[in-house]
Amino acid sequence: MKLKKDIAISDSGFLFNPSSGDSYTANPIATEILKYMQSGFSNEQIIVSIMESYEVERSTIEKDLFDLESMLSNYKLTR
């Protein structure tokens, strides 16, 4: 899934969508995932990266990533 190009993400987890004017807050792990998305990682690459640095099972991160993506598209933050 790809984020809209012009979305600004700060290290503190603040997101601003300049095309809609909406802003969002993300927790640290979501911020990390969003940054991966921006640098063009595939879902598989994201899952592997998260599993490398966090104590988490594959099934959990898969479900959660799917959920995050549904939120992102719900907020119209994806292309």
Partner 1 sequence: MKRKKKMKPCYTIAVTGLNAIDSPGPGVPVIRSLKEASSFDVRIIGLSYEALEPGIYMRNLVDKVYQVPYPSAGTDMMFERFRYIQSIEKIDFLFPNFDAELFNFIKLEQKLRDELGVRMVVPSLQQFESRNKVNLFEYGKNHGVKVPAATLVHSAREVSAKLVDMNFPIVVKGKFYDAKIAYTNEQAIQHFDKISAQWGLPVLLQEFIPGTELNVCGVGDGAGKLVGAVPMRKLYITDKGKAWAGVTISDKKLIDLTRKLVKETQWNGPFELEVMKTVDDKYYLIEINPRFPAWCYLTTGAGQNQVESVVNIGMGNDVTYFRKYETGKLFIRYAYDMIVNMNEFEQISINGEL
Partner 2 sequence: MKKKEKKIYERPLIRPLNASISNKFGRRTEWLPLTHIDGIPVVDLINEFGSPLFVYSEKKIRDNFMMAKRAFETRYPKIQFAWSYKTCYLNAVCNVYHQMGSWAEVVSGFEYEKALQNGVPGDKIIFNGPDKSKHDLLLAMKNNTLIHIDHFDELYLLTELASSSKSKPRVAIRINMDTGVYPQWDRFGFNYENGQAWEAVNKILMNDALDLVGIHTHIGTFMMTPSAYAVATAKMTELAIQIKKKFNHIITYIDMGGGFASKNTLKGSYYAGADAVPDIGEYAEAITSALLNAGFDRNNLPFLYLETGRALVDDTGFLLGTVLANKRLADGRRATILDFGVNTLFTSFWYDHKISPAQEMGHYAEETILYGPLCMNIDVVRDAISLPPLKPGQHVVAQYVGAYNITQSMQFITFRPAVVMIDREGRSHLIRKRESLDYVQKNEILPSHLKKLNW
Residues 19-78 that bind partner 2 (CB under 8 A): 22-30, 33-34, 50, 53-56, 60-61, 64-65, 67-68, 70-72, 74-75
> How far from 64 is each of 46, 57, 58, CA to CA, in Å?
12, 11, 10
Please check whether residue 65 is in contact with residue 33, taking contact to mean a CB–CB distance below 8 angstroms.
Answer: yes
d(CA 30, CA 25) in angstroms, rounded, equals: 9
Q: How many residues bind partner 2 (CB under 8 A)?
A: 28
d(CA 75, CA 61) in angstroms, rounded, equals: 21
Look at residue 10 and give the partner it binds from partner 2, partner 1, none, a contact being a CB closer than 5 to 8 Å depending on partner kind.
Answer: partner 1
Q: How far is the CB of 75 from partner 1 (least distance, A)?
A: 16
Q: Residue numbers of the site for partner 2 (CB under 8 A)? A: 15, 22-30, 33-34, 50, 53-56, 60-61, 64-65, 67-68, 70-72, 74-75
